[in-house]
């Protein structure tokens, strides 16, 4: 039997238009997460975190299929990005960024399975990021999103279009954590996709302007 693909089951969350901003209600979901800060393009901490997240995620999938006969497709990398003052957030200057790298897990995955996976992976790999992995629920709720197609370095106009939409429709960034965090979902495999064809979902939790 083919594994569950949450991207296909939740198309409204993972296949937005690249032309128009859409509004979605994002449900509470489970994630493996690692927090950090600094420019992801030059941060070894960020690269180690990604390796740790994918290593554990694939081990979780293996354990789930072997022990519980529940197979699924490992989800893409996601990132929450923010600065202390949201109004100062810019895709040009990443040096002051704070981030949470994360990968969604199916709801049937338990803390015990995560613990087992981390222990198994740690036997084969030595990454400091393993000790910082968290297994948590995230509920963003009402959000706007759009698909950006192209290099990450050229996201600026897409982000601006999203922010303009929020303003024009009478919304504002949700002030409750993680509401002020810029959210990206990296749909494409960077090793097999040309930069001009990369697909990245840009999402921003929001609320009605008070």
pLDDT tens for 25-47 read 999 999 999 999 988 888 899 99
At a CB cut-off of 8 Å and minimum separation 6, what does 197 contact? Answer: 149, 150, 188
Over residues 88-102, the mean pLDDT reads 77
How many Cα atoms sit within 13 Å of 193 on the Cβ side? 15
Burial bucket for residue 102 (CB in 10 Å: 0-12, 13-18, 19+):
buried
Q: Which of 59, 50, 52 is nearest to 114 (CA)?
A: 59
User: Three-state SS for 108?
Assistant: coil
Q: Using an 8 Å Cβ cutoff, are 127 and 48 in contact? A: yes
Mean pLDDT is highest, among 1-10, 132-141, 177-186, for 132-141
Over residues 73-94, the mean pLDDT reads 79
pTM above 0.95, yes or no: no
Q: Which two tokens stand for residue 166?
A: 């929020």
Token look-up 């399975």 returns 113
């Amino acid at each position: 039997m083919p594994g569950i693909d949450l991207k296909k089951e939740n198309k409204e969350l993972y296949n937005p238009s690249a032309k128009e901003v859409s509004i979605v209600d994002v449900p509470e979901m489970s994630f493996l997460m690692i927090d950090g800060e600094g420019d992801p393009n030059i941060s070894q901490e960020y690269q180690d975190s990604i390796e740790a997240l994918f290593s554990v995620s694939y081990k979780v999938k293996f354990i789930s299929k072997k022990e519980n006969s529940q197979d699924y497709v490992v989800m893409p990398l996601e990132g929450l990005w923010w600065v202390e003052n949201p109004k100062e957030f810019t895709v040009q200057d990443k040096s002051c960024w704070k981030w949470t790298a994360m990968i969604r897990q199916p709801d049937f995955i338990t803390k015990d399975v995560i613990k087992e996976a981390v222990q198994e992976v740690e036997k084969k790999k030595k990454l400091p990021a393993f000790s910082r992995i968290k297994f948590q629920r995230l509920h963003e709720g009402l959000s706007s999103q759009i698909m950006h197609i192209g290099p990450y370095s050229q996201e600026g106009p897409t982000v601006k279009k999203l922010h303009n939409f929020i303003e024009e429709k009478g919304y504002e960034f949700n002030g409750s954590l993680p509401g002020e965090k810029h959210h990206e979902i990296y749909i494409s495999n960077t090793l097999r996709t040309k930069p001009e064809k990369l697909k990245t979902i840009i999402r921003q939790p929001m609320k009605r302007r008070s």
